[in-house]
């Protein structure tokens, strides 16, 4: 139904409540002035009769957007002239901000068959030139935050992304971020944990093949991400990822294949698909269960990006294995504020390593897991009331980020356990 503005030349009409509707069965195209009955509840229904037989504004077929209707003011039963005009903002396209950071999607190879050893070389404008026309889908503005392989993303680039998104939330209807896939899951987890985006979709996108590949996936992935960010059904879903025709929750994704186009495991956060320009969600809008939103007290201006580089306390990840040397914990404890261990199984470590973890009682140590699926339950901890925390279903990379945010917030060990309890750890 077309949205319209109601302009009246009746002095008393401002005290009336008007409900504007366009119903095909009530159209009277042969008469531009009709008398509409009023109801007893002071609600006046105004029918825009300047529509064609397909219920489209007549202006689309060369007509005019204005119809004058004689109706009755429900307050005092005086006749008023009501002018129906097409609302200038009703058909406004969504405004989408694209933030570029680099990655394979912005890379070039030396030939069309090269899918490794390429280098980042394309800007956002060059990426947009390679996708289908989006002029009827949305209005685009873009900004190049950085242009690096995602393996090079440090706290400096991460906070630039954070600030770029934060500064765009109130100005745009959706945000798209191009990003390398190697560390994409870490960035999306961080953004979901630190930004309350309200109903604005934040859509990350990357690719597994460079732009010069004979079957490059980047252009279609970017096109789909823009469409997803522009779609009203994407509202109130938090941080999303658009890759390989799939729509996923950024909080849950994990890269599980280093080479394949189908590179991300979204077992917990598989939300929908993009098929032939159609967006299909399997569930109503919902955000991750148990998530904690951390507030970063930082200057959001670009000039302060480098100054905030050391904002997050350093946390180290150790990978457990047979004959794991417990003295490694002593080495890292002197340089890091927290430790994450990728344990064997669901929290299994040699007894000597467990004992060493408990000895380091002044530093939080999160037990994560080497395996892709499953979780570390609290019951597998060597001591439930100590500095050791169960990582739940989070992998080591995400456990590291969550522990950093807990340390930044100066939480106690008990408060940290409560935070990790949201991901079934603690």
CA 4 to chain centre: 32
Question: Cβ of 228: how many Cβ atoms within 10 Å?
Answer: 24
> What is the reported pLDDT for 43?
38
Distance CA 23, CA 21 (A): 6
Kindly give the parts of the chain with pLDDT less than 50.
Answer: 1-89
Q: Which of 181, 212, 254, 343 is catalytic?
A: 181
pLDDT score recorded for residue 127:
92
Q: Is residue 104 flagged as an active site residue?
A: yes
Cα 280 from Cα 272, distance rounded (Å) = 5
Q: Is 181 an annotated catalytic residue?
A: yes
Contact 404, 338 (CB under 8 A): yes
User: What's the confidence (pLDDT) of residue 57?
Assistant: 41
Task: Say which of 104, 187, 188, 239 is annotated catalytic.
Answer: 104
Q: Where are the alpha helices (DSSP H) in 305-372?
A: 327-333, 351-359
pLDDT at 232: 97
| Predicted pLDDT of residue 371 | 94
What is this structure's pTM? 0.79
Q: What is the pLDDT of residue 21?
A: 41
pLDDT score, position 161: 97
Those residues whose C-beta lies under 8 Å from the C-beta of residue 315, and which sit 6 or more positions away, are: 336, 337, 338, 339, 340, 400, 403, 404, 407
Whole-number pLDDT of residue 74: 44
Please tell me the predicted confidence (pLDDT) of residue 113. 84
Closest Cα partner for 159 from 298, 326, 15?
A: 298
The pLDDT of residue 29: 42
In the annotated binding site for substrate, the residues are 150, 181-182
Model pLDDT, residue 96: 98
Task: Set out the domains of the chain in order of their start, with CATH numbers.
Answer: 4-86 (no CATH), 95-281 (3.40.50.1170), 312-421 (3.40.50.40)
Q: What is the pLDDT of residues 221-248, one digit of tens each?
A: 999 999 999 999 999 999 999 999 999 9
The pLDDT tens digits for 255-290 are 988 888 888 877 788 999 999 999 999 999 988 888
Give residue 55's region: left, alpha or beta (phi > 0; psi -120 to 50).
Answer: left
């Amino acid at each position: 139904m077309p949205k319209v503005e109601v302009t009246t030349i009746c002095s008393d009409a401002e005290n009336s409540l008007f409900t504007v509707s366009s119903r095909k069965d009530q159209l009277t195209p042969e008469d531009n002035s009709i008398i509409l009955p009023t109801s007893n509840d002071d609600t006046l229904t105004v029918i825009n009769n300047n529509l064609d037989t397909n219920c489209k504004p007549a202006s689309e077929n060369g007509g005019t957007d204005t119809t004058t209707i004689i109706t009755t003011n429900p307050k005092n039963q005086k006749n008023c002239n009501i002018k129906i005009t097409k609302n200038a903002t009703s058909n406004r396209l969504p405004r989408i901000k694209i933030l570029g950071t680099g990655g394979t999607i912005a890379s070039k190879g030396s030939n069309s068959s090269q899918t490794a050893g390429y280098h980042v070389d394309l800007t956002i404008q060059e990426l947009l030139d390679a996708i289908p026309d989006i002029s009827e889908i949305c209005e685009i503005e873009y900004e190049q935050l950085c242009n690096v392989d995602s393996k090079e993303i440090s706290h400096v680039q991460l906070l630039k992304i954070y600030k770029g998104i934060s500064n765009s939330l109130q100005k745009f209807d959706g945000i798209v971020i191009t990003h390398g896939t190697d560390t994409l899951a870490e960035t999306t987890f961080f953004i979901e944990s630190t930004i309350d985006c309200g109903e604005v979709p934040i859509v990350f996108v990357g690719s597994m093949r460079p732009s010069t590949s004979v079957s490059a996936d980047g252009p279609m992935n970017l096109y789909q991400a823009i469409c997803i960010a522009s779609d009203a059904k994407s509202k109130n879903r938090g941080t999303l990822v658009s890759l390989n025709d799939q729509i996923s929750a950024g909080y849950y994704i994990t890269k599980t294949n280093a080479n394949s186009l189908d590179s991300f495991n979204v077992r917990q956060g598989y939300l929908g698909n993009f098929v032939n320009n159609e967006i299909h969600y399997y569930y109503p809008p919902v955000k991750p269960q148990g998530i904690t939103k951390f507030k970063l007290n930082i200057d959001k201006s670009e000039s302060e990006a480098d100054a905030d580089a050391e904002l997050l306390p350093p946390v180290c990840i150790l990978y457990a294995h047979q004959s794991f040397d417990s003295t490694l914990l002593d080495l890292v404890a002197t340089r890091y504020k927290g430790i994450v261990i990728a344990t064997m199984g669901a929290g299994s470590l040699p007894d000597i390593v467990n004992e060493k973890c408990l000895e380091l009682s002044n530093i939080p140590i999160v037990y994560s897991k080497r395996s892709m699926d499953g979780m570390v339950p609290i019951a597998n901890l060597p001591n439930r009331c100590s500095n050791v925390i169960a990582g739940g279903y989070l992998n080591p990379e995400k456990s590291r980020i969550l522990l950093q945010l807990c340390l930044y917030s100066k939480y106690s060990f008990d408060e940290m356990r409560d935070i990790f309890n949201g991901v079934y750890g603690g």
